[in-house]
Amino acid sequence: MAVANLLYGHEPGVEHVDQLYAETRDLRLQGFLLFLISDCVLFSSFIFAYFYMRNSGQGWPPPGIHRLDVAFAAVNSVILFGSGATMHYALENWKHGHFNRYAMFMIATIILGACFLGGQAYEYTNLIYNEHVTWAGSGIFGASFFTLTGMHGFHVSVGVIYLFILLLQSVHGVYTKHKYFGLTAGTLYWHFVDVIWVVLFSIFYLI
């Protein structure tokens, strides 16, 4: 029986390991979702505070501050949303065993995320040095804008590093076609930063 198990790939303990992986995967998924929910609560508290302070003023944006560059922010948003699409295709290609396509889409996601951060850095530089809008010197608007978009930028930076680590792990065989929770978590996290940016783009640039 032991020889037959080896011949047909049913090694002793493999089913137990797979079952253990399935159970721990579900627990890790629950924990990761709770982490994302806690992050949603964090962003929501700042967003609600922003709306409260904004509605208590006499006009928006405050006198002396021009409206933000919607066109530039829209282009930067398309870059970030495009990275959400490439991340989705990266995971799907991994599930179907297409490693080269997975790597291509993962690298594209990392590059697009870095481009978004570069666009945000350019916008910050322009606001601070040309528009003289700063975190401490522009009242509620400056404090709210730099705090919320800065928090989001920090999350994107962490995400870019996380995806790079996932790519390296994939190259070194950490994940398989059937065991890839890290890639699932990375995809969920990246979609999370996309959704948060939809909200921030709407409240700062469109409303």
- CATH number at 169 reads 1.20.120.80
pLDDT at 96 over 70: yes
Q: Can you give the C-alpha Rg of the chain in angstroms?
A: 22
- Using one digit for the tens of pLDDT, what is the confidence trace for 99-116? 999 999 999 999 999 999
pLDDT at 5 over 50: no
Answer yes or no: is 164 within a domain: yes
Three-state secondary-structure class, residue 68: coil
> Among all chains, which residue has been given the structure tokens 């037959």?
4
In this prediction, residue 23 carries a pLDDT of 73
**CB 120 within 8 Å of CB 160:** no
Distance CA 103, CA 146 (A): 34
Closest CA to 144 of 206, 192, 193, 203: 203
Phi, psi dihedral angles at 137 (to 5 degrees): -110, 10
Question: Where is mean pLDDT largest: 52-61, 149-158, 176-185?
Answer: 149-158
Q: How confident is the model at residue 139 (pLDDT cuts 50, 70, 90)?
A: confident
Sign of CA pseudo-dihedral 182, 190, 143, 122? positive
How many other CB atoms are found less than 10 A from the CB of residue 166?
22
> Among all chains, which residue has been given the structure tokens 């910050």?
124
Answer yes or no: is 20 within a domain: no
Quote the distance between the C-alpha of residue 53 and its chain's center. 27
Answer yes or no: is 84 within a domain: yes
For 94, residues 6+ apart whose C-beta sits below 8 A from its C-beta are 102, 170, 175, 177, 180, 183
Parent domain of 155: 25-206
Distance CA 54, CA 52 (A): 5
Answer yes or no: is 19 within a domain: no
Answer yes or no: is 4 within a domain: no
Compute the C-alpha angle 29/183/109, nearest 5°: 130
> Among all chains, which residue has been given the structure tokens 């303990």?
13
pLDDT at 53 over 90: no
In this prediction, residue 71 carries a pLDDT of 96
Answer yes or no: is 99 within a domain: yes
Cβ neighbourhood burial of 154 (10 Å; 0-12, 13-18, 19+): exposed
Q: Stretch 129-136: mean pLDDT, rounded?
A: 89
pLDDT at 20 over 60: yes
Answer yes or no: is 13 within a domain: no
Answer yes or no: is 9 within a domain: no
In this prediction, residue 153 carries a pLDDT of 97
Question: Structural domain tally of the chain?
Answer: 1
In this prediction, residue 8 carries a pLDDT of 31
pLDDT at 163 over 80: yes
Amino acid at residue number 68: L
